[in-house]
Structure 1
Amino acid sequence: MVMWKKIRILFVFVLLTFQCVPKPSPSLLGILVLPLITQTSETFTIESTSPTNGATGVALTPTITIVMTQAIEPTSINTNITCSPSCPSLTGGSSNRTITLTPTSALTSGVTYTITLGQNIQSTFGLTLGTNTSFSFTTL
């Protein structure tokens, strides 16, 4: 009889121990710091471009860099970037907040090119540009 009492007490102790284990909760560090790594703004816009808007004397084979205020959803840039007047094909892609484009052949000398980012380019946080946004530069 004493043996069963000890087993019951042990069973109750083990059962109560499992109920005292705290439930996992999100880390405060992960909630506060992680979004700051890729989201630097509450809005999704162009932060900077290279060449800068209005630049002149740009090389005929430039590397075009566009830095956004938030990380870019890479699939949203596929059909949402245009160049006028007609540019040679632009190759490249995005990495975090930066879009990098390179013409497949030389641009024409003395021409002002306009790069337009379509309103549907999206950040990884679900925001879109909302309006078409452009910048221009003139080649040598």
Structure 2
Amino acid sequence: MRKYLIATVFSCVLATIIYSCQNAAQVKQDVYYVNGRDLYIKHCQNCHGSKGEGLGTLTPPLTDTVFLKENKQKLACFVKNGIKSPITVNGQEYEGTMPAFPELYDIDIAQVMVYITNSFGNNQGMYTTEQVAGDLKNCKF
């Protein structure tokens, strides 16, 4: 029993040290990621899937890192305003309409973007509310 207690205390201390070694930017990204996951489940998962795999030829997957990187400035526009025209991802054309989510605030969109761009095989780092605000000002539809 004593060995178990010592091991448990040691594990807790080690976890505290490791967590405290994270910088503030990483902690913020982690918070955005977790909140973004919840928003993704609520607003996006029905069409894009629990693993970002998409829905056949109707909804594109979110697993194409190249597409996400090349279109990073458009992602906030896609979420806020939806998509009404065909979109090509990884050589496949998708004609399904993506609904708009005008009720989402800039921070909500930033959090969803952090989740999407750091899940499903993607690893693209932070996406801030300032980036969302700037990207939304430049939307071209």
**TM interval, short-chain normalised:** under 0.3
TM-score normalised by L of structure 2: 0.26
TM-score normalised by L of structure 1: 0.26
Q: Normalized per residue, which structure has more strand?
A: 1
